[in-house]
Structure 1
Amino acid sequence: MAFALDGMRVAGLAENRGSILWVQDRNAIRLNGRPYRPGLPAELRARVIHVAAKSPEDALFALEEGLRCRDLACVIGELAGNPKALGLTASRRLSLAAERYGVPLFLIRLDAQRDLSSARMRWEVRSSASPPKPWNAEAPGTPSWRAELFRARGCRQGEWILRDDGTKLVASTAHGAAPDHGDLAAAPGDRSLAAF
């Protein structure tokens, strides 16, 4: 969610007060659980519309229909694994709908292998070691992730370490460069952000 929110901020969509459609297939719910509203930022709690789809096909249908609704701030989809339904044709349909209707799409594939896709940006995100707390190096640190942008049209590829500082997603290069507060990928301009 932090990744999607930061993408919206970079794309200039953070002020959009529309609802957020969050679609999960049954296996994604089993792996990741449902969105926990009290854990969401306060300004988003009442705006999330959750769809629990029985199958990947139903989830893809809900995602595509959601992208056609210009009143949505964005659409978030979670699919488990590499479902056959999410082939190159289906990903192209989603990308075209996101671009045509101007609704950003963030598609998260849990426990999936890299596969063909027509997405404008493709990230692989996995857990990373937390930075130590300054007052106690053995205390649990802030959750961190290693994000690799391995395919992007018009954006630089690379790896970053991400952590949420409470207000925004903070990034540093995976090789220890100075922190960068956002702008991991260039804003899409007049095109919608479709990231898988």
Structure 2
Amino acid sequence: MAKKLKLTDIQRYLERTFRKFSNYTKHQKTFVLFLFVLAAVLILLPIAKITPITQGQSSYSIWLLGKTYFKSAIVIVLSLGFLFGWNMHTNFKRFIIKYLGFRETEPVLNFMFLWIIVAAYMGILDTLGLVSQNTGTIGIAWGLSVQLIVLVVGLIMSVIEVWKSANQNSQKTKILNIVDDDAPKRTENKRVLQHLFEDEEL
């Protein structure tokens, strides 16, 4: 028989997750909280509003996880799942590092998968915009505007981290180059000193 999920198991899981979260850096904490906010607005807020032509029928909304945008929802959900796995689950991150070769602190991955989500939303937005211009029955819901604002905020956060990482890597490269340039000079100085002592002995 399957083991039933007890309240103590949930409590242990939450405690373990909280301890893991407390060890994150400031940016990691901010980005993980952003992911939860993003997931909430994607699931809970509508993206389109339908006003039926027939009188007596009330208007209704369409959500991302409905059958209307099923294919786009698959891409968005998988990308969001990757972001959660990469930023929160150590085993998933080890798998990606081992088989795909990314570094453990690779901010460009967050930007890439957020960009995939934004690209999927651009198709939805363009379609709704075209339809709403030619008919008064279908329009863009306020929830879509909120979702796009949250996505833009996430992209800005990711671009800033990519830029910081690029600067750090650039500084490391400069230091390594300086060390590499100094090494032959030190070797040459040692050789000159060695020749001087040899001449004195002679």
Larger radius of gyration: 2
Higher helix share: 2
Higher strand share: 1
Interval containing the TM-score (normalised by the shorter chain): under 0.3
TM-score (norm 2): 0.21
TM-score (norm 1): 0.21
